[in-house]
Amino acid sequence: MKNKFSVFPAWILLTLTFVIIVLALLFIFIYYVKSEKSAKGFEDEIFVVADSLEYEQLLEPLQLSLEKEIYTPQPEKSFILKRINVEEFESKKETKNIIIAAPLNSGSQTSDFIETVVDTSTENKLSSDSGFVAYKYDLWAKNQIVAVLSAPSIEALKSKITNNSDNILNAFQKKSDERLFENLYNPADEQKNTEGKFLKDFGWIIYVQSDFNIALNNHEEKFVWLKRTTGKEAEYWIFIHWIENGNPSYLTQDSIKVLRDRLTKKFYSADDSSDMVVEEDYFIVNEVDFNSKYALFTQGLWKINFDGSGGPFVNYFFYDEKSKRVYMIDGSVFAPKHYKRNLIQQADVTIQSFRTEAELTADRKNELLEAIGN
């Protein structure tokens, strides 16, 4: 029996094969380039894809969950929500933070759009699990986070957002921190010699950018103070303090204020009349995980009692079992003419780079010790 393809000359078959291969390679190339394109936009913007009527009903729980106020001391927001509809989405799909919110099968455009974003099993879980939020990463751009918020009804969706508000906020904050550290970290700008000295002398490291200065290095008092200037009248400071032979009982909310005020009075204040102290009106403490260790995380305000100047600070207070040390690591911002939300996040992300010697790989330790000639 004659093969039906034998009617085509060999050169035509070869040409078709070549075209198919080229198209396949082109598709792979386009997909790769698209997936490697970095997400764009501001860190504190979240675009919410939602129909206008549904968004009106979801706005309050979304704002309470994501537009939390941060006092710097002026009130600023952790994130700013911006609604777009499905028709506008094409121009915003490569932004850093996206929420797609609608009840399932409501007949709205956004509800129909959700069906194109998640598979059937995810859709079923969104419907049946009141605690489930579908997070997708790098969906339309690299380093992007997309949260799909859905439930069987608008009331069920409002409840889901309210009941899972902390988890939703933390997911966006964590991804934002990861992006920020990726932008901050540059091996060419890293002071490896400084980090190596910290490792050798103190048994810990923290990421030190090229524009950081060591304001104080007091081995006897176990206090290191780093300063970074980011622009005119804008800077932030980080101190690391540790207590030898400590224990977890040190970790109390009252201890944070007492210890921080004692340290800043001793090392930050220019004279007795200009003490830096914790502002009583804004002091929030939460239990968090810090590099797999229980920690007390504080967001607060500091002030100079002489002239009233001040700014925000973040503080981590934790016990390290292996070294038997209690650590306090603190970041403060001074930027009276600037928006401070992003600066305090930079300080926070830098603090999160802290590692004890036991948490470093052998290669990393060797790299840093070689930087100081050891």
Q: Give dist(CA 146, CA 102) in Å, integer.
A: 14
Asked whether residue 228 falls in the same domain as residue 309, the answer is yes
Residue 188, pLDDT > 60, answer yes
The total number of structural domains in the chain stands at 2
Asked whether residue 330 falls in the same domain as residue 192, the answer is yes
Asked whether residue 214 falls in the same domain as residue 327, the answer is yes
Asked whether residue 170 falls in the same domain as residue 200, the answer is no
28-63 pLDDT per residue, tens: 555 444 456 899 999 999 999 999 999 999 999 999
322-369 pLDDT per residue, tens: 999 999 999 999 988 888 999 999 999 999 999 999 999 999 999 999
Q: Is residue 121 part of a domain?
A: yes
285-316 pLDDT per residue, tens: 999 999 999 999 999 999 887 666 789 999 99
Which residue would you say has higher pLDDT here, 6 or 15? 15
Q: Is residue 10 part of a domain?
A: no
Which pairs with CB-CB distance under 8 Å and at least 24 residues apart come from 40-43? 40/94, 40/95, 40/96, 40/141, 41/95, 41/96, 41/97, 42/96, 43/96, 43/97, 43/176, 43/179, 43/180, 43/342, 43/345
Asked whether residue 242 falls in the same domain as residue 94, the answer is no
- Of 183, 202, 229, at which residue does a domain stop? 183
Mean pLDDT of the chain: 90
Count of alpha carbons within 13 angstroms of residue 222, beta-carbon side: 13
Q: Is residue 318 part of a domain?
A: yes
What is the percent of the chain with per-residue pLDDT over 70, rounded to a whole number? 88
Asked whether residue 220 falls in the same domain as residue 363, the answer is yes
Asked whether residue 214 falls in the same domain as residue 330, the answer is yes
